[in-house]
Chain A
Amino acid sequence: MASVNSDEWRAICDKFNNAQNLTEVESRNDPENDPFRSKYKARELLREIYCSLKSFEAGEGEEESGGESGEQRPTEQPVDGQREDGQGISGDSPAGMRAAKLGAVEYYLGVNHVDTEELSAGQEHLMNCMKLLERCRVSSENVSLFIHVRNQLGILWAGRDETEMAQGFLETAESIYQRYMKEDGSPPTDMTEYFTSEENLLTHQERTKRFELAYTHTMYYLAQVYKNLGETERAATYCHSTLQRQLQLNQFSPMEWALNAATLSQYYITKGRYMEGRHCLSAATVISGLAGEVPSEAAAQESETESERREHLRQKRAEIARCWIKYCLNLLQDSKKLLEDNIGELDTDRQDELKRARRREEEEEEKGRKSALLFGSEDTFDSIASLEEKVLCLFPLDFTEARSVFLVGQNYVTQAKEYFQMDGYVTDHIEILQDHSSLFRALAFFEEDLERRCKMHKRRVDMLEPICNDLNSQYYLLIRRQLMFELAETYSEMMDLKLTLANRQADTQSLDNHTIKKFNSLCSASAKYFQMFLDSLCSPEGKFPDVLEEEVLRPALVARFRVARLHSRLISSVPPVQLENLNRSLENYKYVVQYCEAHPEAAAAAETELELSKEMVGLLPLKINRLKARMAANN
């Protein structure tokens, strides 16, 4: 090996720097018709370096027939020949250093060939690098190369749809990193330093940063590999690690990071893991704050750049607010599921039981899981923690707790609406309103006072009704259908509450006129919206479809059934009106029964409704006939 200060060696270092510069800087300006010009030049230089290295007197260890031994390893062997026995040349011996240097050149040649779309040649060079390293023990001199070459092979194999191969290389990289950090952990040499003069060596800090970044990439590639393998749980963990490492290494752009963390929170909440979800969201909010102040409207008027920045920051923060809304909403809805009995009312025995259980679990569980999860760098850690404390991550078990979650959610509704205004963002704005309405609905479940519960549902009606009526039905058909259904159900809910209240107050069975009027108007409003939903399924000529599309099958049958029930519940003392109501009711029950007879596969979509409809189709005619007989007798 030439001495580090000889002229020959300097020439090699210069060539290497040139090659790096060609690859990273010059190549960006290559002309369209010769896109790899600089890369080809760099390749030549690397080949020259390789030859010079080979021609230096060999160190210990036999000569490698570099480049020619491109034989594939047989596939039944493990993908990655990483030795676990710790045998081999030590990394800092002359032979070890020589192998590492040659390996590094092979590595750069491999990457170069892959970049210029010569995959199999690239693979060969990368495998040569692996072979050279095979003879060495992992040490601070070569560990970085160990990781880099496997990252590249992972990318290469994934590109060929050989996901398991990619997985093998990347998982080995991961275990090499972990072992190195456990056994040595000193800032390792960066591969570029093999070809720099003494005075240009990197600082420890810079070494650490580059090494940690390479490993972060390993995490990032593994996240993708696991996603492609369908192992979502594992993929999520690796996304999490990637984000965490970006923060620690201070290698991130705040808004992008924040959006990624907010998106990850949505994964956790769909899995019912609220502690993780809350942590991601708190971190997202704190880190998005690092992106700076939103420029004022005045500033945005002045300059295009400021205007774009204002738009960007406001939008992304509103998006994060919307992720928070979903957090609060899901948390409330999940607790409701836990606590409700079979008619959807709060089951107090379950409530007591859960409260006792929570006290037991709280301490142990939280400590264990929490430590595995923390995001943050020294500066942001505390702000994230204090933001987390503002909202529960355990299931709220009574009205007070539910209300505190509701209020946080409602606060984010206000924030999100500031950006996603109705004029300009119709769909987004309505989605936010729908969430707001759902928040009220979930909170109402915890409210014991029926009068106040009714008021909450009234708030939902006030929120959604005007929009449902204003929306252009051609462009917003799907959203309108959702709104109609929700309004229909909300009115039904209010109707039931009013009736329960009236029955409690009146000891006798007879209701006063005012109450009857109120009840009937809620009942009619509910029927009106169910009917409106059904009408939205008709053709422009007003014909109801013979066959219901799969995604509206259940809602349509349910709407028919509910219309039937509502008509039979309308209170009237006038026999002809009664008769009319009962007939409408029968007609709709019949529809459900007949449709399911004609399309047996539909029965599964609305089992309970079908069963009850059959019963009513049997019973109602008797009732109708009795009424008719009474009417005839009275005439």
Chain B
Amino acid sequence: SSGKGSATNTSVGDNDSIKVFVRVRPLTQGTGLTTDGDQSLCLTVTSPNTIRLLSKPEPRTFTYDHVADMETSQDSVFSSVAKNIVESCMNGYNGTIFAYGQTGSGKTFTMLGPSELDNFTDELRGVIPRSFEYLFFLINREAERSGQSKNFLCKCSFIEIYNEQIYDLLDTASASLFLRENIKKGVFVEGAVEKFVNSAAEAYQVLSMGWRNRRVASTSMNRESSRSHAVFTMTLESKESINEVVNIRMSQLNLVDLAGSERQKDTHTEGSRLKEASSINRSLMCLGQVIMALVDVSNGKNRHICYRDSKLTFLLRDSLGGNAKTYIIANVHPGSKCFGETLSTLQFAQRAKLIKNKAVINEDTQGNVR
């Protein structure tokens, strides 16, 4: 990609396409990424939706739905990214917000706020607490307006995906869980704990508890939280009774903290590195992936791929195209030392705009015009 992806003509119909918000964190000391007080930067924000990366020999410009510079406040991130998604949730759409970026690029700060924060009224609180507040504000307003003919039910679950295994962060005693599908419920994690919440404060409590468990798990079971994806899901059910007719609407809001991008050493970021044969294992691991790549250049033919989606993409399938609103927040660190990771984050974000679940309509082209 030339880095000249256009983000302006994709907002047609205002749904479907995945939107990308890039946030540049400020250059501060003590992040472990800015060493020796090196103040040189590898990027500049050139407009509210373009960013220039100072690459050699030519600087490259990337275009996104929104680019936020170092000065951007937590509140304005929420307004640009989450406000609209929370509103759609009230109207029955599913919504997903992903946070992506290398460790130390400000993901947790963006999503939660400063780590020592337990009072979440602070001005520095992140996207998630603000989403909770806004959601419950809308719920209460809606319930009042309808004169209590509308009821809302809100459930939360919080899971972690590590090494393609699913763990419940609200029940650390449980073994790994399975994904299942049901014609009425769609994709769900079988046996995941669901907690009912009645206010933003309660939702935040559930989140904090899970977040703590994530840390505990990472120390006790040798799991590294920067290598796991965490998915916090709020299910919103509204029930409206008008003259004996009950109208039920369900929607989901997924808040996803993706594994640190520097750990995403998957085939998509490795470019042309060869998979090596391991002498210990008798198999040539990943030959399947090589073959799969050959089949994927399919010419509209009908084929089956034996290797299943990753758990994460399967779980969030309808967030990736289809009828959901999706925003990716790509966090980057502006320091020169982070050039490589920043470039790959920007490229990932560019590619993410192209992710779509397409339904190919197989029409019978013959005989329809007789």
Question: Which A residues form the contact surface with B (CB < 8 A)?
Answer: 24, 154-155, 158-159, 161, 163, 166, 216-217, 220-221, 223-225, 227-228, 232, 235-236, 239, 242-243, 246, 251-253, 256-257, 259-260, 262-264, 266-267, 269-270, 316, 319-320, 322-323, 325-326, 329-330, 333, 340, 343-344, 422-427, 435, 438, 441, 467, 470-472, 474-479, 481-482, 485-486, 489, 492-493, 496, 540, 545, 547, 549, 551-552, 554-555, 558, 562, 608-609, 612
Other CB < 8 Å A-B pairs besides A227-B290, A263-B291, 7 of them? A154-B274, A319-B306, A426-B182, A441-B364, A478-B357, A478-B358, A482-B361
Q: A266, A269, A609 — which one has the most chain B CB atoms within 10 A of its CB?
A: A266
Please give, as numbers and ranges, the residues of chain A lying within 8 Å of B184 by CB-CB distance: 470, 472
Least distance between B140 CB and chain A CB atoms (Å): 22
B153 close to A (CB within 8 Å) = no
Least distance between B122 CB and chain A CB atoms (Å): 35
- Knowing A158-B272, A424-B180, A477-B318, the reply to whether A260 touches B287 (Cβ < 8 A) is yes
Please report the C-alpha to C-alpha distance between residue A551 and residue B357 in the assembled complex, in whole angstroms. Answer: 10
B369 and A266 within 8 A (CB): no
Least distance between A566 CB and chain B CB atoms (Å): 11
Please report the C-alpha to C-alpha distance between residue A470 and residue B279 in the assembled complex, in whole angstroms. Answer: 51
B304 and A492 within 8 A (CB): no
B183 and A545 within 8 A (CB): no
B292 close to A (CB within 8 Å) = yes
Q: Contact partner of B272 among A228, A243, A259, CB < 8 A?
A: A228
Please report the C-alpha to C-alpha distance between residue A330 and residue B369 in the assembled complex, in whole angstroms. Answer: 24
Q: Mask for B74-93, Cβ within 8 A of A = 1, else 0? A: 00000000000000000111
When C-beta atoms are compared, the residue in chain A nearest to B272 turns out to be: A228
Q: Contact partner of A223 among B92, B279, B290, B321, CB < 8 A?
A: B290
Q: Contact partner of B364 among A216, A235, A253, A489, CB < 8 A?
A: A489
When C-beta atoms are compared, the residue in chain A nearest to B93 turns out to be: A540
B257 close to A (CB within 8 Å) = no
B367 and A493 within 8 A (CB): yes
Q: Mask for B257-296, Cβ within 8 A of A = 1, else 0? A: 0000000000000011111110110111001101111110
- Knowing A217-B277, A259-B306, the reply to whether A478 touches B294 (Cβ < 8 A) is no
A424 and B291 within 8 A (CB): no
Please give, as numbers and ranges, the residues of chain B lying within 8 Å of A435 by CB-CB distance: 302
Give me 20 A-to-B residue pairs in the complex whose CB atoms sit less than 8 angstroms apart, sorted by A's number: A223-B290, A224-B275, A232-B297, A235-B294, A239-B291, A256-B288, A260-B291, A263-B295, A270-B303, A322-B304, A333-B302, A424-B182, A474-B94, A475-B187, A479-B359, A485-B361, A489-B368, A549-B12, A551-B358, A554-B361
- Knowing A220-B287, A325-B304, the reply to whether A558 touches B368 (Cβ < 8 A) is yes
Question: Which B residues form the contact surface with A (CB < 8 A)?
Answer: 12-13, 16, 91-94, 180-187, 250-251, 271-277, 279-280, 282-284, 287-288, 290-295, 297-299, 301-307, 318, 321-323, 356-364, 366-370
Please give, as numbers and ranges, the residues of chain A lying within 8 Å of B290 by CB-CB distance: 223-224, 227, 235, 239
Q: Contact partner of B306 among A323, A426, A493, CB < 8 A?
A: A323
Please give, as numbers and ranges, the residues of chain B lying within 8 Å of A260 by CB-CB distance: 287-288, 291
Please give, as numbers and ranges, the residues of chain A lying within 8 Å of B276 by CB-CB distance: 155
When C-beta atoms are compared, the residue in chain B nearest to A219 turns out to be: B284
Please give, as numbers and ranges, the residues of chain B lying within 8 Å of A493 by CB-CB distance: 364, 367
A259 and B288 within 8 A (CB): yes
Please give, as numbers and ranges, the residues of chain A lying within 8 Å of B369 by CB-CB distance: 608-609, 612
Please give, as numbers and ranges, the residues of chain A lying within 8 Å of B92 by CB-CB distance: 474, 540
Please give, as numbers and ranges, the residues of chain A lying within 8 Å of B322 by CB-CB distance: 477-478
When C-beta atoms are compared, the residue in chain A nearest to B175 turns out to be: A304
Please give, as numbers and ranges, the residues of chain A lying within 8 Å of B94 by CB-CB distance: 474
When C-beta atoms are compared, the residue in chain B nearest to A270 turns out to be: B301
Please report the C-alpha to C-alpha distance between residue A273 and residue B275 in the assembled complex, in whole angstroms. Answer: 28
Please give, as numbers and ranges, the residues of chain B lying within 8 Å of A239 by CB-CB distance: 287, 290-291, 294
- Knowing A243-B287, A251-B282, A482-B359, the reply to whether A424 touches B181 (Cβ < 8 A) is yes
B307 and A263 within 8 A (CB): yes
Please report the C-alpha to C-alpha distance between residue A251 and residue B284 in the assembled complex, in whole angstroms. Answer: 9
Please report the C-alpha to C-alpha distance between residue A239 and residue B288 in the assembled complex, in whole angstroms. Answer: 9
A323 and B294 within 8 A (CB): no
Please give, as numbers and ranges, the residues of chain B lying within 8 Å of A486 by CB-CB distance: 362
B295 and A496 within 8 A (CB): no
Least distance between B258 CB and chain A CB atoms (Å): 22
- Knowing A227-B293, A235-B294, A262-B306, the reply to whether A427 touches B361 (Cβ < 8 A) is no
When C-beta atoms are compared, the residue in chain A nearest to B300 turns out to be: A270
Please report the C-alpha to C-alpha distance between residue A161 and residue B272 in the assembled complex, in whole angstroms. Answer: 6
Q: Contact partner of A220 among B91, B181, B277, CB < 8 A?
A: B277
Please give, as numbers and ranges, the residues of chain A lying within 8 Å of B274 by CB-CB distance: 154-155, 158-159, 166, 221, 224-225
Q: B250, B277, B287, B292 — which one has the most chain A CB atoms within 10 A of its CB?
A: B287
When C-beta atoms are compared, the residue in chain B nearest to A432 turns out to be: B304
Please report the C-alpha to C-alpha distance between residue A87 and residue B56 in the assembled complex, in whole angstroms. Answer: 45
B287 and A266 within 8 A (CB): no
Please report the C-alpha to C-alpha distance between residue A317 and residue B343 in the assembled complex, in whole angstroms. Answer: 41
Least distance between B225 CB and chain A CB atoms (Å): 15
A423 and B182 within 8 A (CB): yes
Please give, as numbers and ranges, the residues of chain A lying within 8 Å of B275 by CB-CB distance: 224
Least distance between B120 CB and chain A CB atoms (Å): 31
Q: Contact partner of A475 among B180, B186, B292, CB < 8 A?
A: B186
B304 and A343 within 8 A (CB): no
B291 and A344 within 8 A (CB): no
Please report the C-alpha to C-alpha distance between residue A228 and residue B293 in the assembled complex, in whole angstroms. Answer: 10
Please report the C-alpha to C-alpha distance between residue A426 and residue B314 in the assembled complex, in whole angstroms. Answer: 12
Least distance between B332 CB and chain A CB atoms (Å): 23
Least distance between A184 CB and chain B CB atoms (Å): 25
Please report the C-alpha to C-alpha distance between residue A310 and residue B357 in the assembled complex, in whole angstroms. Answer: 31
Please report the C-alpha to C-alpha distance between residue A223 and residue B293 in the assembled complex, in whole angstroms. Answer: 11
Please give, as numbers and ranges, the residues of chain B lying within 8 Å of A267 by CB-CB distance: 291, 294-295
Q: Contact partner of A425 among B181, B280, B302, B370, CB < 8 A?
A: B181
When C-beta atoms are compared, the residue in chain B nearest to A161 turns out to be: B272
Least distance between B187 CB and chain A CB atoms (Å): 7
Please report the C-alpha to C-alpha distance between residue A252 and residue B285 in the assembled complex, in whole angstroms. Answer: 10
Please give, as numbers and ranges, the residues of chain A lying within 8 Å of B283 by CB-CB distance: 246, 251-253, 256-257
Q: Contact partner of A326 among B13, B282, B302, CB < 8 A?
A: B302
Q: Which 4 A-B pairs have the closest CB atoms?
A: A475-B186, A344-B366, A478-B359, A426-B181
Please report the C-alpha to C-alpha distance between residue A470 and residue B182 in the assembled complex, in whole angstroms. Answer: 11
Please report the C-alpha to C-alpha distance between residue A224 and residue B291 in the assembled complex, in whole angstroms. Answer: 9
A270 and B299 within 8 A (CB): yes
Least distance between A488 CB and chain B CB atoms (Å): 9
Please report the C-alpha to C-alpha distance between residue A304 and residue B369 in the assembled complex, in whole angstroms. Answer: 57
Please give, as numbers and ranges, the residues of chain A lying within 8 Å of B301 by CB-CB distance: 269-270, 330
Q: Contact partner of A259 among B186, B282, B307, B321, CB < 8 A?
A: B307
- Knowing A262-B306, A316-B306, the reply to whether A426 touches B183 (Cβ < 8 A) is yes
A246 and B284 within 8 A (CB): yes
Please report the C-alpha to C-alpha distance between residue A511 and residue B368 in the assembled complex, in whole angstroms. Answer: 23
Q: A155, A224, A562 — which one has the most chain B CB atoms within 10 A of its CB?
A: A224
When C-beta atoms are compared, the residue in chain A nearest to B366 turns out to be: A344
When C-beta atoms are compared, the residue in chain A nearest to B314 turns out to be: A427
A427 and B291 within 8 A (CB): no
When C-beta atoms are compared, the residue in chain B nearest to A344 turns out to be: B366
Least distance between A262 CB and chain B CB atoms (Å): 6
Please report the C-alpha to C-alpha distance between residue A325 and residue B26 in the assembled complex, in whole angstroms. Answer: 55
Please report the C-alpha to C-alpha distance between residue A562 and residue B368 in the assembled complex, in whole angstroms. Answer: 8
When C-beta atoms are compared, the residue in chain B nearest to A221 turns out to be: B274
Least distance between A535 CB and chain B CB atoms (Å): 13
Please give, as numbers and ranges, the residues of chain B lying within 8 Å of A333 by CB-CB distance: 302
Please give, as numbers and ranges, the residues of chain B lying within 8 Å of A269 by CB-CB distance: 301, 303
When C-beta atoms are compared, the residue in chain B nearest to A477 turns out to be: B323
- Knowing A252-B283, A263-B292, the reply to whether A474 touches B363 (Cβ < 8 A) is no
Least distance between A260 CB and chain B CB atoms (Å): 5
Least distance between B320 CB and chain A CB atoms (Å): 11
Q: A216, A227, A252, A547 — which one has the most chain B CB atoms within 10 A of its CB?
A: A227
Please give, as numbers and ranges, the residues of chain B lying within 8 Å of A166 by CB-CB distance: 274
- Knowing A227-B294, A256-B288, A477-B322, the reply to whether A266 touches B303 (Cβ < 8 A) is yes
Please give, as numbers and ranges, the residues of chain B lying within 8 Å of A540 by CB-CB distance: 91-93
